[in-house]
Amino acid sequence: MRSTKALLCVALAGLVGLGSAAPVQADDGEPYPSVALRLYDDAWYEGWTRLFSKSDYDFDYSDNDEASSVENFTVVAWVLFDDADLRDRRYCIRPGEVVPDLGAPQYKFNDKVSSVLKLSRATCDEYPPFYPGP
């Protein structure tokens, strides 16, 4: 009985190991935080990457109006704004969602993002989402 339990524990540990994902690596070999909003300079997650763990009301000149794709690896929704100080056009991205091309015809949001708002919930509520849903 004891050896059966031990064997079962080893088997379960192996299954857990198979299900865990390795962290994404940055160009310099450092792992990206698994909990971050990630903006990319180019469509399809290419070019420079900027990570956010909190709201940013005004991007630096170097990153302003540069983002072309986005990934949300957090547990809350984020809102991307066209202008600084969380103003003008906006889109909400829910946890786990990705937008490979902000310049797609339905968004026309390429090279527009100037500020981001981290919400305290997973839903977009009053903010228009990139994708239809709850």
Comparing 21 with 3, the larger pLDDT belongs to: 3
Average pLDDT, the chain: 80
Instruction: Tell me if 98 sits within 8 A of 70, measured CB to CB.
Output: yes
Q: Tell me the per-residue pLDDT of 32-61, one tens digit each, with 9 for 90 and over.
A: 556 899 999 999 999 999 999 999 999 876
Domain boundary assignment for the chain? 26-118
Question: Assign residue 126 a region: left if phi > 0, alpha if psi is -120 to 50, beta otherwise?
Answer: alpha
CA distances from 101 to 22, 33, 62 (A): 25, 22, 20
Measure the CA–CA gap between 69 and 104, rounded to whole angstroms.
10
Q: Tell me the per-residue pLDDT of 69-127, one tens digit each, with 9 for 90 and over.
A: 999 999 999 999 999 999 999 999 999 999 999 999 999 999 999 999 999 999 999 99
Instruction: Tell me if 95 sits within 8 A of 77, measured CB to CB.
Output: yes
The pTM for the full model equals 0.74
DSSP-derived secondary structure for 32-72: PPSS-EEEEEETTTEEEEEEESS-BSS--TTTTT---EEEE
pLDDT of the residue at 65: 77
Q: Which fold has domain 26-118?
A: Gamma-B Crystallin; domain 1 (2.60.20)
